[in-house]
Amino acid sequence: MRQDQFITRHEADWNALAAWLDAAERRRKPATTAAEGCADGDVPQRYRRLCQQLALARKRGYSPMLIERLAQLAERTHTLMYRPPNPRWWRAIAFIASEFPAEVRAQWGWMLASALLFFLPLFAMIAAVLWQPELAHSVFDIEQLAQMEQMYDPANDDRIGRDSGTDLMMFGHYIMNNISIGFRSFASGLLVGIGSVVVLVSNGVMIGTVAGHLTGIGYGGPFWRFVVGHSAPELLAIVISGGAGMRLGFALIAPGQLSRVAALLAAGRIGARLILGVFVMLLAAAFIEAFWSSIATLPDLVKFGSGAAIWLFVLGWLGFGGRGRVHAR
C-alpha cells in the first residue's frame, strides 16, 4: 500500500485519538464526548491499532515524518493510559469543584422546577404572614412560636438562633437536621416524585412562615443576621436534593425506551452523585451556622456582607464550576 493511501485510510483515527489526548491532558481526566475525539472505552483498541500501524509504517519504509508522528502519538497514549491514578483526595476535590456543579447544570430543568416549588411558597408565606399575622398560628402552635421568639429576641446580646448548647454540640445537631431534610427531599422522590414536591413545598411554607412572623413582630433583625450566612449552601442544597428526587420519580413514571428498573438505576446513579455534593454543601452550612451565624456581636455590615459574598460564591460555583464537561441527562 502506498503511503498516501495508508494516510487517507487511517488519518481520521489518528486525529480522533489526538483530540482525545488533548482533552485528557487539559483536564487530567479524559473527556468522553465525540466532539473531543473518542470515548474513553475506545482508547485501548485505538492504541493497539496505532501500534500495529506504526509497525507497518516502519516495515514498509514510509517517510520519517510519518513514523515520527505515529511514534509520538503512541507515546502520548501510552503515558496517559498507564500513568498512576490521581490520589483519592485529588479526585474528591475535582468532583466537588468541577463534576458536581456540572451535574447540577446538566439537570437544570429539574433544578428550576425544584427551586420554584421551594422558593415560591417561601416568599408567598413571608408576604402572607406579614399581611395576616394570625396565619403563623395555622402552621405552628403557640409553644413553637414562643420558642422561636426566644431564640431571636433582640435582647440576646451573646448568641442568636439558639437557646442552649455549645458551638460544637450545635454543629452536630445542624449536620443531622440538614442531612435529614436533604435526604427526605431526595428519597421521597421514589413516591413517583410527589414526595419530593411535598417536602419542598412544606419546607418552603415553614421557613417562610418563621421569617414572616419574626419580621412582623420586630425580631427580623436578629433572624436575618442569623440566616444570611448559611442560607446559600443550605437552601440551595435542599433545592438540588428535591430536583434529584423528582428526576428519580419521573424515571418511574416515564422510563422511555428503558425498563422501569433500568431507568430508575440510571436516575439513581445521577442522584447519588448529586447527593454526595449536597452532603458537602450541608456540612458547610452546618459549620457556618454553628460557628458564625450565631454570633450576635458582629455589626450588620460584616454579617450581611459575608452573607452576600457566600451567596455569590455558591451561585458562581454552581453556575461556572466544571464548564466544558458533559454529563448524562
pLDDT at 91: 80
How far from each other are the two terminal CA atoms of the chain, in whole angstroms?
A: 45
How confident is the model over 84-139, as pLDDT tens digits? 776 777 788 888 988 899 999 999 999 999 999 999 999 999 999 999 999 999 99
Q: Report the alpha-carbon distance of residue 58 to residue 67 in Å, rounded.
A: 7
Note the pTM of the prediction, 2 decimals: 0.76
pLDDT at 161: 75
pLDDT at 139: 92
Evaluate if residue 215 carries a pLDDT over 70: yes
Cell (9 digits) for 312:
455569590
Band the pLDDT of 34: cuts 50, 70, 90: very low
Residue tagged 514498509 (cell numbers) = 60
How confident is the model over 146-162, as pLDDT tens digits? 999 888 888 876 777 77
pLDDT at 324: 55
Please state which of the ranges 177-186, 213-222, 256-265, 317-326 shows the lowest mean pLDDT: 317-326
Task: Tell me the β-bridge partners of 159.
Answer: 295
Average per-residue pLDDT for the chain: 87
Q: Report the alpha-carbon distance of residue 75 to residue 200 in Å, rounded.
A: 53
Evaluate if residue 35 carries a pLDDT over 50: no
User: Which amino acid, one-letter code, is at 66?
Assistant: L
Cell (9 digits) for 246:
423528582
Task: Give the closest residue to 111 by CA, choosing from 1, 49, 185.
Answer: 185
How confident is the model over 4-19, as pLDDT tens digits? 888 889 988 898 888 8
Evaluate if residue 32 carries a pLDDT over 50: no
User: Which amino acid, one-letter code, is at 179?
Assistant: I
User: Which amino acid, one-letter code, is at 53?
Assistant: Q
Q: Report the alpha-carbon distance of residue 63 to residue 70 in Å, rounded.
A: 11
Where in the chain are the domains? 3-83, 90-320
Cell (9 digits) for 222:
436578629
